[in-house]
C-alpha cells in the first residue's frame, strides 16, 4: 500500500512539474529501486568457487540451507549464485531436469497459490512487473521454477512458495549457460 501511495504521489509531482512523458517515468525508480532496480545487483554476488561434489559439469545444484545455487563447472569448480528459497513449509528436494526456458515469461499462479492468496491476479503477462522476472527455467513436471525477481532484497531469504529466486542479472547469466535437459539437484 505504501508503494502504491508513493507511486501516485510521484506521478502527481512529475505531472505538476511538466514531465508528462510516459517514456521518461519509471515507477520502480521512485520506490527505492534506483537505476538498477529491474536488473538489480544481488546482495550475494556471483562467484567462481571450488566445488566438492560428484556432479557432471552443467549440473545445477541448489542448496536450500545455504540459499545458494551452484552451476557445476569442470575441474572441481562451480559458479555460485545467491538465491531466495521457499519459506517454511514450502521447501522441497529432488532431482529434475530443465524442461523449458522462457524469456520474460508470463505467470499463471497454480490453483494451490490462488487458494491461499485471493489478492493475486489469475494471469500476468511477462514484463518488468511480473514476479517471474526476466527469465525462468522450468523444473520437470513440478510447479517450481528457477526464475528472476524484481525484488533483489529477497535474495538470501526464505520467502517463496517453493520456487528459487535470483536477481534478473543472475538468472539471465544462468539462463545463457544452461540448456533444456540440464539436471537440477535440489538439496533440502
Q: How many helices (H) and strands (E) does the chain have?
A: 4, 11
* pLDDT for the residue 11: 35
The answer to whether residue 97 scores a pLDDT higher than 60 is yes
The answer to whether residue 27 scores a pLDDT higher than 80 is no
Of 21 and 42, the structure prediction assigns the larger pLDDT to 42
* pLDDT for the residue 20: 30
Question: What SS3 class is residue 126?
Answer: coil
Question: The dihedral of CA 110, 133, 1, 23: what is its sign?
Answer: negative
The percent of residues in the chain predicted with pLDDT above 90, rounded, is: 58
Contact yes or no for 57/72 (Cβ under 8 A): yes
Joined together, the cell numbers standing for residue 141 give: 513436471
CA 33 and chain centroid, separation: 16
Q: Is 96 a residue of the active site?
A: no
Q: How far apart are CA 59 and CA 167, in angstroms?
A: 20
The percent of residues in the chain predicted with pLDDT above 70, rounded, is: 79
The answer to whether residue 134 scores a pLDDT higher than 90 is yes
Pick the closest to residue 43 from 170, 145, 132 (CA basis): 170
Q: Is 118 a residue of the active site?
A: no
Give the chain's mean pLDDT: 81
Q: How far apart are CA 41 and CA 77, in angstroms?
A: 23
Of 116 and 61, the structure prediction assigns the larger pLDDT to 61
Contact yes or no for 185/95 (Cβ under 8 A): yes
Q: How far apart are CA 150 and CA 101, in angstroms?
A: 18
Q: How far apart are CA 33 and CA 9, in angstroms?
A: 16
Fold of 83-187: L,D-transpeptidase catalytic domain-like (2.40.440)
* Predicted model pTM: 0.76
Q: Please give the average per-residue pLDDT across 108-115, as a whole number.
A: 83
**Where are the chain's structural domains?**
2-35, 83-187
Amino acid at each position: 500500500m505504501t508503494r502504491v501511495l508513493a507511486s501516485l504521489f510521484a506521478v502527481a509531482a512529475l505531472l505538476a512539474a511538466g514531465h508528462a512523458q510516459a517514456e521518461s517515468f519509471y515507477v520502480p525508480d521512485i520506490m527505492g529501486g534506483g537505476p538498477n532496480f529491474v536488473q538489480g545487483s544481488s546482495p550475494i554476488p556471483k562467484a567462481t568457487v571450488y566445488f566438492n561434489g560428484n556432479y557432471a559439469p552443467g549440473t545445477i545444484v541448489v542448496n536450500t540451507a545455504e540459499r545458494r545455487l551452484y552451476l557445476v563447472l569442470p575441474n572441481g569448480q562451480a559458479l555460485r549464485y545467491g538465491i531466495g528459497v521457499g519459506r517454511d513449509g514450502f521447501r522441497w528436494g529432488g532431482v529434475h531436469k530443465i524442461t523449458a526456458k522462457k524469456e520474460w515469461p508470463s505467470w499463471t499462479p497454480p490453483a494451490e497459490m490462488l487458494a491461499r492468496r485471493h489478492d493475486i491476479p489469475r494471469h500476468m503477462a511477462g514484463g518488468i512487473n511480473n514476479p517471474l522476472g526476466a527469465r525462468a527455467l522450468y523444473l520437470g513436471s513440478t510447479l517450481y521454477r528457477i526464475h528472476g525477481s524484481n525484488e533483489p532484497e529477497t535474495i538470501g531469504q526464505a520467502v517463496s512458495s517453493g520456487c528459487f529466486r535470483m536477481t534478473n542479472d543472475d538468472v539471465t547469466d544462468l539462463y545463457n549457460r544452461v540448456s533444456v535437459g540440464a539436471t537440477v539437484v535440489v538439496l533440502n
